[in-house]
Structure 1
Amino acid sequence: MVSWFKHLSVCLVAALVLSACSPSEADQRKAFIAFLQTDVLSRQGARVPRPDAEKQKPFGEYAAHYAVITRFHDRMDASVAKPMQQAMANAMPRSIEEVVARKADIVTVRAGFTGMLEALNQSVAVADSERAALKQPDDLASVYAAAYDKLVTQPATTFREIFPPTDEAFGAVLALAELIERNRGEIKLRGSQVEVANAALRAKVQDAMAAMSSKQRAMTEAQQKLRRVLYGG
């Protein structure tokens, strides 16, 4: 009886020591809220801080709540941001000659935009579903909602806005390429210069080039808006 009581006492003391050493849920929540306010909401742009495991220890179970946001960005970077960057760097022609010579590449890249948009929508849907399953007290829920809007909703919304003008810009490039191909015997290309003797055809080419420039400007403005959302300024 005495040994059993001593064993119970030791266990109770050990439990008390462990309890004293482990942060409470309230402390974990406080640490996580402070992180969101200081490292996310107070900074410009939608940059995603990546605290290591040691720095996330004070968050306790709430580290998993932040992982919802980081997983979204990992998916978006892999399936949307990087492919879009590569497409813009490699596919957009730099001269009128490239408009015609690289027509097939441009068609392929343009077709890929649909897959990128679908991937973005799927990434948002997964993040929204994961967020809906989180259990958060009211004080954390309001701060987390603001952080989620800044790091998930706003970037995704702005990325979606890029696709229409980008598709239209590539469409205008292809329209010019097709016009030149149909009238190849009457059009001479010299780098960035286009020589057309027929006045009516020359007007069509000029209109196509103007449309291409206008669509490219709209695409550039959408890209600049995305950079402001992501990086501030």
Structure 2
Amino acid sequence: MEMKMAWLQSRTWKRVFFTLFLTGMVWQLAGCDNDKEPEQRKAFIQFLQTRILPSEKLSVPTLTAQEKESFGKYADDYAILSDYSSEMTTAFSGNDQAMRQMRSVTSAKDMVEKRDTIEKSRKEVGNIESKRADTMKSVEDRYSKLKQPDDLKAVFDQAYQKTVVRPNALLTQTLSLTDAILGQALDIGNYLNSLGNKVQYTGAMAQFTDQKQLDLFNEKLSAMREKQQELLTVARQLAGMQ
């Protein structure tokens, strides 16, 4: 009995010692990481100041394995910027695809006959906007929870404004204008369709026998062209940031 108790006590002490050993290792590793923090922070700040802030591009580069290692825990902070950048690129691509489908609508008659295509494109833009809003909410939540030293925070906040806030504003504006244009095209198509044989189509134009109907058509068309011009202005801004 005494031998058995001695064996149990010996085994228990071994477990305690092993647990303490592992705990010590964890604290040592944590201590080593903390020792590297100033160096990691300095490397991350330099990266933001030389690679992100001076760049005219909206998108941000993917970190190399070496960069991730040199930034330590701050690589997770950078992921806030890079994750949004990736989602933004996908969103702009999806919006471009929706507008490419509209290029087949080249006449008043097309607005009548291709209303399904227009409606489909508009739904796709709506889905993109919904995903953009969800993505931005997630990014803002992650950003609000950051706890950074003051010197890093000052630089990171600038990078966040440049690579998240500004692109998000442009993307929101782009999607809003695209949705408006598609909605106006759909409205024109429905209007022309409601007139039936009271309107005739010659080439890209529509001919009316009633002046009031013509005036309303021109009013709708003019409003759509104004939105198209606004979208073109935004597109030019984006073109300089690709």
TM-score, with structure 2 as normaliser = 0.77
TM-score, with structure 1 as normaliser = 0.80
Q: For 1:128, give the aligned amino acid.
A: E
Q: Which has more radius of gyration? A: 2
Aligned match for 1:143, one of 148, 152, 155: 155
Kept after mapping to 2: 8 A contact 1:36/1:144: yes
Q: Which moved more, 1:39-48 or 1:87-96?
A: 87-96
Structure 2 counterpart of 1:82: 93
What's the CA shift for 1:125?
A: 1.3
Structure 2 counterpart of 1:12: none
Alpha-carbon displacement from aligned partner over 1:54-98 (angstroms, at most 9, x marks no partner): 2332112211111111112223333x2222111111135222232
Aligned match for 2:75, one of 48, 63, 67: 63
1: CA distance between counterparts of 2:75 and 2:136? 20
Q: For 2:123, give the aligned amino acid.
A: A
1: CA distance between counterparts of 2:170 and 2:57? 12
**SS of the residue 2:73 aligns to:** helix
Corresponding pairs, count: 210
Q: For 1:181, give the aligned amino acid.
A: N
1: CA distance between counterparts of 2:55 and 2:88? 21
Root mean square deviation of aligned Cα:
2.3
2: CA distance between counterparts of 1:189 and 1:54? 64
Gaps of 5+ in 2: 1-27
What's the CA shift for 1:181?
A: 0.7
Structure 1 counterpart of 2:62: 50
Kept after mapping to 2: 8 A contact 1:169/1:219: no
**SS of the residue 2:72 aligns to:** helix
Structure 2 counterpart of 1:7: none
1:203 aligned onto 2:210 = no
What's the CA shift for 1:40?
A: 0.4
What's the CA shift for 1:165?
A: 2.4
Gaps of 5+ in 1: 1-14
Going from structure 1 to structure 2, the CA distance change for 1:66 and 1:55 (only over 3 Å counts) comes to: same
What's the CA shift for 1:145?
A: 0.7
1:95 aligned onto 2:101 = no
Kept after mapping to 2: 8 A contact 1:172/1:215: no
2: CA distance between counterparts of 1:44 and 1:196? 49
Q: For 2:108, give the aligned amino acid.
A: I
Alpha-carbon displacement from aligned partner over 1:102-158 (angstroms, at most 9, x marks no partner): 101212222333332221111111112222233211111110111011111111122
Kept after mapping to 1: 8 A contact 2:185/2:224: yes
Structure 1 counterpart of 2:179: 167
Kept after mapping to 2: 8 A contact 1:72/1:124: yes
Identity of aligned residues (%): 25
Structure 2 counterpart of 1:183: 195
Kept after mapping to 2: 8 A contact 1:165/1:222: no
Aligned match for 2:52, one of 32, 40, 46: 40
**SS of the residue 2:55 aligns to:** coil
1: CA distance between counterparts of 2:65 and 2:212? 68
**SS of the residue 1:194 aligns to:** strand
Structure 2 counterpart of 1:126: 138
